Amino acid sequence: MDYKLFDDYITLQSLLKEQGIIQTGGAIKHFLAQHTVLLNGNKENRRGKKIYKGDLVEIPDINISISISMPNNDEIKEHQRNLIEKECIAKKIKKLNKDNQKTKTAIRFPGT
């Protein structure tokens, strides 16, 4: 499988989580104890190990190979649009939560 890396690096733990190989970050320690993970052909068991473009992560016993590659220009533009959209949604949610909190404090019930 091919993984497009949009940042300078990704940690082994984050890569395995993003690829759905582990469900949570907390599962990495157990996973690494149970499976051999190879980074560019060398055994790797550090969950925080930085993975860069051009690296190859292999998990032979479950027949997984992840090639880390650079995204093309269209993929970069799409990624940037997604980041902007996520930021806008987060701002809207924050404002809604703030407005909702103001409404809750403004409502007063008799006897309270």
**Those residues with Cβ within 8 angstroms of residue 79's Cβ, 6 or more apart along the chain or in another chain:** 6, 71
Looking at residue 109, its pLDDT comes to 63
Looking at residue 73, its pLDDT comes to 92
Looking at residue 71, its pLDDT comes to 93
**CB 22, CB 85: distance < 8 Å:** no
Looking at residue 6, its pLDDT comes to 94
Looking at residue 62, its pLDDT comes to 94
Distance CA 33, CA 36 (A): 8
Sign of CA dihedral 89, 91, 96, 100: positive
Looking at residue 98, its pLDDT comes to 86
Q: Which of 4, 22, 12, 94 is nearest to 48 (CA)?
A: 12
Q: Return per-residue pLDDT of the chain as tens, 112 residues.
A: 999 999 999 999 999 999 999 998 788 999 999 999 999 999 999 999 999 999 999 999 999 999 999 999 999 999 999 999 999 999 999 989 888 887 766 666 666 5
Q: Is the pTM of this model over 0.85?
A: no
Using a 10 angstrom Cβ sphere, with 0-12 exposed, 13-18 middle and 19 or more buried, the burial of residue 73 is exposed
Distance CA 100, CA 62 (A): 48
Would you give the DSSP letter of residue 3?
Answer: E
